[in-house]
Structure 1
Amino acid sequence: MVNAFADNVDSTLRDVQLIDAADQRHILTQWSRGAEPPADRPLTIPELLEPSREFGADRIALRCRDEQLDFPALHRRSDNFAQLLADHGVGPGSLVGLSTRRGIDMVVALVGIMKAGAGFFPLDPAYPRARKQFMLDDVEPRVVVVTAEALDTMPDVPQVTLISLDDPAVQHAMAADGRPRRLPLPDPEDPMYLVFTSGSTGKPRVCWALTER
């Protein structure tokens, strides 16, 4: 203030800037914003994907080597797969085993599992039968999604339904036109996936993750 009057002895108090431009900008942009609105509840992955239903076939959702899948096909196939899982009793709170080769169908299956309201746990197709048996006995899933690579070492568990992505009937069901009924979404706090790690005793141990974003 003293410097301002020294520069112009004829100035009045109203002419003097009491704060510099940087401080003024900070007050206007930060202090005067008021309270932030409360955040909505976290969205699940199916909810985050929902706006992409409006995308056309020119919008590519997935690429893997020489294959690709557009957004309309991703939604059609994953919706149908979710319905297939629901028909086998899968829903919110369920866990579905996933023992498949990597590729577009694996991602479609993952999205379908989440659209069914369920979580998943991976079983590497290369795991020995005994390790898969331990994991299946521990989780007790209704369904395990497989490809041919996993079948040779997949234990025969009577209460578990195997759905093979290599089955022509499954592929036909996934490709069918017509939107299935909308299924209940998971709560953001429901488990999204479960993984087993090697425990200090040599037995696999469970780690959880949530859908919360």
Structure 2
Amino acid sequence: AAPAPDWSLTRLVAADTAYTASERYAADRAYWRERMADRPEPVRLVPRATAPMRRRVHDTVLLDPATVAALRARAADAGVPLSRLLLTAVAVHLHRATGERDLVLGLPVTARRDPATRDVPGMVSNLLPLRLAVRPDTTAARLLDAVATGVSDLLAHSRYRAEDLARDLGLTDGVRELVGPTVNVLPQPGVRIDGAEAEFVPHWLGPVGDLALTFGDSGGSRLRVHLDADADVCDERALAEHRRHFLAVLEALAEDPDRPVGHIELTSPEERALLLGEFGTAPRPAPGTTWPAAFAERVRLAPDAVALVCEDEELTYAELDAAANRLARLLAARGAGPEDVVAVALPRSPDLVVALLAVMKAGAAYLPLDADHPRDRIAYMLDDAGARTVVTTRELSDALPDAPGVARVLLDDPATAAARDALDPTDPAVPVPLDGAAYVIYTSGSTGRPKGV
């Protein structure tokens, strides 16, 4: 009888220990550090989620056999596997969707490059960055050459862990900061089970940080495209748009690999008719509305949608509306109302957005102030605009000039915060006229005194 195979995990551990102590490890590390030293922020196709993935949105399409045959023919003409052409298509889609030219795709690889790792069951796969330069005048054929070279170099250094590379580069969020969309091409040969033909179809490959495209290649005329994204930051409609545009890119690459990628037509006949017909007609009257009213309508339509993101903090439309309503009521209680001007001196933060919206909800116009400006300039602006209230913080308040008759609302003052939080979060329903001022902005004053407009 044949000896039982040695599938001990100690073989994987020993192989990894030997690799990390080898010259190959040092060479791989040096390659990746140089390749990604001036890396860009990864270009994304969907917004970055602020929390671990909980739900996914998924779409699958089986490509038309004629398209698959054309794609295989293009890859064969170029002397590369079909997977390289599919990677090229993803890079084109990313470039056309964002306009960016320095792209980093995430490429899952097996990283099994020696006998010990090749036949022992265990998770040794790796996710590595494929960095590509794409311009509008780059042809698909030229980009395909770059992809083929890039993948060849990547595979030659594929044992160096992406986690280690992210740590080398000082990426606090790990691999998620290293790559954008991920691309996985999975061979799916047909099998027979008890005489019946079967097909392997990837159902779920795990959490994704951006749009993930998985290709199931069954050979011949069968090729499936699977698209997955985090449902918290990408809905079914957005995913369907990515699918439609990506399929248009595949069709274009199958038809003419020498076409510049910037010339690929992504607009559908329906979209073109909408742009040239309805949107391209003469201007039509639109119902007049104020900014607070337009915002209120958005809150009504999508209260739970994310309206504001600042670092790790986010507010839905309903939360932003409630916060602005409370502050608007506080401002009204302190004398602000229609035809008044309320100055706002706050850092870029959610509080700034809340304050600007609250001032308009109170019927007043906001006057943005930069606390770094000279005191005499700020004093002039307050006096010239007739501002009677300044919304600010205790720290920035010290940098503002004393202005007679101008009250200060310090958002981080405990008493102010308590008074605000105790107020009704519903809309204050202050009448806001269409011809009322929404804001007052001052010129630089380089040719004289600043002028408010």
Q: CA deviation at 1:38?
A: 5.6
TM-score, reference length from structure 2: 0.35
Aligned equivalents of 1:68 and 1:110: distance in 2? 17
Partner of 1:98: 344
SS at match of 2:439: strand
- The answer to whether 1:140 aligns with 2:392 is no
Q: CA deviation at 1:167?
A: 1.6
Q: Deviation per CA, 1:118-176, whole angstroms, max 9, x where unpaired? A: 11111101112111111112122121111234212212223111011222233334444
Partner of 1:110: 356
Q: How does 1:159-178 map to 2 (within 5 A)?
A: 159-176=405-422, 178=424
Q: Deviation per CA, 1:81-123, whole angstroms, max 9, x where unpaired? A: 1111111111111111011111001100111111101111111
Aligned equivalents of 1:68 and 1:133: distance in 2? 34
RMSD value, Cα: 2.7
Aligned equivalents of 2:361 and 2:355: distance in 1? 10
Query: Structure 1 stretches of 5 or more lacking a match?
Result: 1-28, 31-35, 208-213
- The answer to whether 1:63 aligns with 2:309 is yes
SS at match of 1:113: helix
Determine if contact 1:76/1:176 at 8 Å carries over to the other structure. no
AA at the equivalent of 1:117:
G
Aligned equivalents of 1:174 and 1:55: distance in 2? 26
Partner of 1:19: none
- The answer to whether 1:205 aligns with 2:451 is yes
Q: How does 1:140-159 map to 2 (within 5 A)?
A: 140-159=386-405
- Alignment match of 1:43 (pick from 271, 289, 313): 289
- The answer to whether 1:125 aligns with 2:361 is no
Query: Structure 2 stretches of 5 or more lacking a match?
Result: 1-276
* Greater radius of gyration (CA): 2
Determine if contact 2:394/2:413 at 8 Å carries over to the other structure. no
Determine if contact 2:389/2:409 at 8 Å carries over to the other structure. yes
Pick closer, same or farther for the CA change 1:134–1:63 going to 2, 3 Å.
Answer: same
TM-score, reference length from structure 1: 0.72
Partner of 1:3: none
SS at match of 1:75: helix
Determine if contact 1:81/1:112 at 8 Å carries over to the other structure. yes
AA at the equivalent of 2:378:
K
SS at match of 1:97: strand
Partner of 2:432: 186
Pick closer, same or farther for the CA change 1:54–1:172 going to 2, 3 Å.
Answer: farther
Aligned equivalents of 2:299 and 2:446: distance in 1? 46
Partner of 2:327: 81
Determine if contact 1:101/1:147 at 8 Å carries over to the other structure. no
AA at the equivalent of 1:68:
E
Identity of aligned residues (%): 38
Matched positions, count: 175
SS at match of 1:96: strand
Determine if contact 2:385/2:452 at 8 Å carries over to the other structure. no
AA at the equivalent of 2:345:
S
Aligned equivalents of 1:47 and 1:53: distance in 2? 10
SS at match of 2:451: strand
Q: CA deviation at 1:53?
A: 3.6
SS at match of 1:191: coil
Aligned equivalents of 1:168 and 1:57: distance in 2? 29
Q: Deviation per CA, 1:32-59, whole angstroms, max 9, x where unpaired? A: xxxx98643x211110111244467742
Pick closer, same or farther for the CA change 1:39–1:181 going to 2, 3 Å.
Answer: closer
Determine if contact 1:101/1:149 at 8 Å carries over to the other structure. no
Higher RCO (C-alpha 8 Å, min separation 6): 1
AA at the equivalent of 1:141:
A
